[in-house]
């Protein structure tokens, strides 16, 4: 695109302009580079925004899935009794065990860890806080130095630099009357 922009800038400058030469070529190069850098900047900005929002949308979807799973656990094990836990674990993920066959260690671990986490996550306030935390992380990631460096690499990548140089050369050649 950069080469095409440079060629078009030089072509239209020659078509409309009344002079040729080095000064006209330099002026056309400045115009072409302004357009090229504007387009590169906008493209990199939009790509970065799209990539960032895609990543964090996926995170929010996963949070929603985990909240739904936590609510399912809390609904299946409302009091946290051993019999409820055994019945839930026996029916989970196609487990062929009967409630009595569930190991006491598994019941204890479920009650002390999984059920506590599920009750916390099933609470709407906790889920909102978790989503807000990820929004803050997204904002910090977008404002970080690494994000800015990545932005400029996208805007001025190796292939882009060669295209920009090609566009400037095309603009100069056509604008100065050489092309």
Q: Which residues of 114-145 are buried (b: 16+ CB within 10 A; e: fewer)?
A: bbeebbebbeeeebeebbeeeeeebeeeeeee
| Rounded distance between C-alpha atoms, residue 88 and residue 77, angstroms | 7
By mean pLDDT, which of 39-43, 49-53, 122-126 is the weakest? 49-53
Q: Are 18 and 170 in contact (CB under 8 A)?
A: no
Count other Cβ atoms within 10 Å, centred on residue 153: 12
| Rounded distance between C-alpha atoms, residue 71 and residue 143, angstroms | 35
Q: pLDDT tens digits, residue range 107-161?
A: 899 899 989 888 888 877 787 888 888 888 877 777 777 777 777 777 777 667 7
Q: Is the pLDDT of residue 93 over 70?
A: no
Question: Exposed, middle or buried: residue 55 (CB in 10 Å: 0-12, 13-18, 19+)?
Answer: exposed
| Rounded distance between C-alpha atoms, residue 30 and residue 163, angstroms | 15
Residue 94 pLDDT: 61
Instruction: Give me the numbers of helices (H) and strands (E) for the chain, helices first please.
Output: 8, 0
Q: Is the pLDDT of residue 75 over 80?
A: yes
Contacts (Cβ under 8 Å, ≥6 apart) of 20: 14, 175, 176, 177
| Rounded distance between C-alpha atoms, residue 88 and residue 76, angstroms | 7
Q: Output the pTM of the full model.
A: 0.51
């Amino acid at each position: 695109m950069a080469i095409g922009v440079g060629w078009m800038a030089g072509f239209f400058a020659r078509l409309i302009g009344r002079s040729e030469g080095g000064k006209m070529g330099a002026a056309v190069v400045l115009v072409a580079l302004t357009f090229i850098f504007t387009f590169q900047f906008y493209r990199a900005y939009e790509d970065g925004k799209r990539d960032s929002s895609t990543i964090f949308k996926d995170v929010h979807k996963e949070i929603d899935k985990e909240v739904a799973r936590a609510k399912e656990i809390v609904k299946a094990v409302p009091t946290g009794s051993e019999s409820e836990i055994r019945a839930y674990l026996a029916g989970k993920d196609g487990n062929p065990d009967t409630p009595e066959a569930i190991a006491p260690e598994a019941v204890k671990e479920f009650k002390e860890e999984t059920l506590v986490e599920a009750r916390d996550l099933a609470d709407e306030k906790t889920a909102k806080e978790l989503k807000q935390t990820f929004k803050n992380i997204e904002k910090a990631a977008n404002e970080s130095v690494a994000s800015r460096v990545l932005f400029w690499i996208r805007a001025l990548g190796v292939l882009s630099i060669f295209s920009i140089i090609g566009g400037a050369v095309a603009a100069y050649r056509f604008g100065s009357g050489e092309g």
